[in-house]
Structure formats: structure tokens, C-alpha cells
Amino acid sequence: MGRVIGFHSMNKENAESDILPDHHDLREITREARVIYEKQETIHCPYFEGPVTLNADGFVHLTHKSNRQPRNVNEQKLKLRLLKKALRIIRKAGTVQEYRRGMEKFGQPGPDGFTKMKQIEYWAFHDIVGEKKRFLLRVIVRRIGDGKAHFWSVMPHGKIDRQKLYQDGIDID
């Protein structure tokens, strides 16, 4: 039988204060998140041994889907409230949990009707957040072609209470 492996957050200090308050006004949450996001153009990420850019595309993606359609209000509020925590996770990320690379349409179709394709890479960094209601948070960093790695998204990935990870043959001290 496998053993349950416990998770420990890499971001204990000020864990709860990293999540913006749940104002009922989307404009207020957006304003607070924008102030946090625009304080710096880049943040250092140990995994990349260099900067992750905080550009307009990343901020817009928190409130709009990839096709530029607005997300529903509750999803926008959730992503914006988690932004400060996401930036802290990038600052401390030493290990990538997910990686994906592929060719994707990029930009608008040209006069000929064709859309350019570019190689796009995604890295996901995970952390456990919350005290009473713990959940796994995924932070996505994206790179287009040979460009700069930039913040792309943040999303909750599920409640930890329901997740069980089993490992055979691993001794826990």
C-alpha cells in the first residue's frame, strides 16, 4: 500500500495577505491588481535564472480569454485576487511542475486569410495556498518563439483535501 505524502507551501510568509480582498466591485479589484502588476516590468525567477516579464498580454489574459472575449465576472475577480500570490510563486519557483510546447496561431489573419503560426512554450509552477481551505494554485509563464518568458495566467487547480498522492518505497522522515 502507498503512503500519503504531505505538501508544504513554499510561500508561508504572509500567505493569506497575498490574496487580495474579495471586494464586490470588479473595478476596485482590477485597480488594486493593476497597481501590483505595474510596480515592476520584470521579476526574477530562480527556475529561469533570470527575469519573467510582466507585460500587458499577461494582465489582459486575467480578464479575457485567448480569443479576447471577456471572462465571466467571477472568474476575472478570482484571477485578479490571486495575482499577488502568483507573482510571489514565480519569485520562488525553482522547479517546474508542467511544461508544454507547440505550434499555435499567433496574431490576426493576413489579407490572404492565413494566420501565422509560432512555437509557444508554457511552464506551470504550483504551490499550495490557504489555511482552512487549502488548494493548489497553478501559475503559468509563456514564451512565444525566441521571445522573453512572460507571466501568462494564474488559476486554482483543485482542493487539496480531495487530492491524495501515493508513492511506494519512499520513506518519510
pLDDT at 67: 80
70 DSSP β-pair partners: 64
At residue 14, what is the residue type?
A: N
pLDDT at 130: 77
Q: Chain-centre distance of CA 95, in angstroms?
A: 14
What is the helix (H) or strand (E) element at residue 109, kind and residue range? none
In the structure grid, which three cell numbers stand for residue 47, read together?
A: 527556475
How far is residue 140's CA from residue 121's CA, in Å, rounded to a whole number?
A: 10
Q: The whole model's pTM is what?
A: 0.78
Angle between helices 73-92 and 56-63 (to 10 degrees): 140
Find the DSSP H helices in the chain: 26-38, 56-63, 73-92
pLDDT at 4: 35
pLDDT at 20: 62
* 3-state secondary structure (DSSP) of residue 100: strand
Q: What angle do CA 58, 69, 107 make, to 5 degrees?
A: 65
pLDDT at 8: 42
> How confident is the prediction along the chain (173 residues), in pLDDT tens digits per residue?
333 333 344 444 444 456 666 667 899 999 999 999 999 999 999 999 999 999 999 999 999 998 889 999 999 999 999 999 999 999 999 999 999 999 998 888 899 999 999 999 999 999 988 777 788 899 999 999 999 999 999 998 865 444 443 333 334 33
pLDDT at 158: 66
Whether the CB-CB separation of 80 and 72 falls below 8 Å is answered with no
